Each structure stands twice: as C-alpha cells, then as structure tokens.
Amino acid sequence: MRRRPPAPTPVPFSPTAARSHRAGLGLTPDQVAEGMAAHGVRLLPSHVIGWETGEFRPSEEEFVALARALWCPPAQLMGTAPATLRDFRVARELSQDQAAQRIGVTPRAYEQAELTGKWGGDAGQTYALAHVLGIGLRMLVHVTDRQDELDRCLRQCVDGRWQSQVKPMSRLVPVPRPVLEQTLAELQGEYLVPMHWGSSRSPAEQQPVKPHAQRFWELLARHRTDIPV
C-alpha cells in the first residue's frame, strides 16, 4: 500500500492581522468572500470568520487570495517574518512551479528544497533564488541550511588561503566575485596573527573575538551588493 505524501504544514497566519485588515477596509466577511472569488477561490463567509477566530487556517491558495481581497502584502497576514523557502515564496504570491521556472531549476528540485530545507543549486541558481524570493544574503544561508558549510569555509579562509574558498563561498553567498574576494581577504587579514620576534601581544589578544561568520557579514555589509545582506 502506497503511503500518502505528508500534508503540507499550514502557512503562517495571524487571525488578528486578517481581522484588523478587514475592519480597516470596512468590509464584511461576505464581501471578503466575494473578493476572494474574484481571485479564483470560492468559499463561504463562514470560512473567513473561522480564520479570524483561529478555528482553522487557510490553505496556501486561500491565503494568497485572502491577501489580495484585503489589498495587503501576504507577509502582513503571516504575523511573523518569513522563515522558510515556502514562506518567502508565498509572500511573493508564487506557486512552486512559477518559482522553479524563474529560478531556473526543475519543479521537482525546487519542491524537494522546500520539503527538506536543503538547497543544492549552483552560484547562478542561488542568486536567482534570493532575487526571485526576496531573501537577504544572511537569511539565505539560514533557510537553505548552509550555515555549517559557511562556517567551514570561513575557518579555512582564516587558517589557510582565502583564495581557495572563493569558489565554494560563491555558491553560498551570491555576490560579485571582486566583492567576495575583498571581503575574504579583509577577514583573513583581521584574524591573521603576525608571527615575529618581539611581539608583545599574545595570539589570543591579537585575534578578533567575534565569530568568523558574524565578522564576515559585517565586512560584507560595507560593500555594495545586488542582494542586501
């Protein structure tokens, strides 16, 4: 007997935000239902009331139609900042197929990325992912489950040759190569301990105390990038 695929987790949704937006527009639940029908989702006004009371939550399609009926960005109905690839995609009112097409990956590959939280795209696809879904660079590393890989690259950059880390880092942080090279060189320069006779400071005193990743993002933020840090 074939197992059914697991039901998708509900979209983050704030009943209070939905109720406030409707009240602010002076709409009744009936009028909201009519507005949603204009966007291809037909349901009873009792559904709108049920969402606002927290009795149940809208599906992804219903959520987007509700946001359109209430004339507000979907993220304002989430009640919290987007925290997953699916959240960012829904906030942009995109289906999985639409997102996959714009990013340049197969629908199956994108679907798996959302299901597993892991991203295997190359540098160009990673740039497209961030651009299409509106994800900042730091959050991008988090939602693609690449923080450990970033930490490893930065440790190797500090302990060895930063030049060898440019290519793997470009898959994680899609910024222009000259910007990435300069940032990695700056990072290594700050952590590099001068080894010469007569040094009066211990290595522990000479090295920055901040974690590598934190300092990397601070240095990168000084440069102009297409995608914000």
Whether 11 contacts 58, CB under 8 Å = yes
- pTM for the model stands at 0.86
Amino acid 200: pLDDT: 52
Residue 34 exposed, middle or buried by CB count within 10 Å (0-12, 13-18, 19+) = middle
Q: Which residue has the tokens 């939602």?
A: 143
- Model pLDDT for residues 128-154, shown as the tens digit of each residue: 999 999 999 999 999 999 999 999 999
Cβ density class 208-221: b for 16+ within 10 Å, e for less: eeeebbebbbebbe
Evaluate the CA torsion angle 98, 101, 106, 112 in order and state its sign.
negative
Amino acid 208: pLDDT: 55
Amino acid 10: pLDDT: 79
Give, in degrees to the nearest 5, the angle at Cα 159 between 183 and 172.
45
Domains, in order of start, for the chain:
15-77 (1.10.260.40), 85-138 (1.10.260.40), 147-220 (no CATH)
Q: What residues of the chain score a pLDDT lower than 70?
A: 1-8, 193-209
Tokens of 164: 């060898």
The contacts of residue 10 (CB under 8 Å, 6+ apart) are 57, 58, 59
Q: Which of 161, 88, 176, 67 is nearest to 124 (CA)?
A: 176
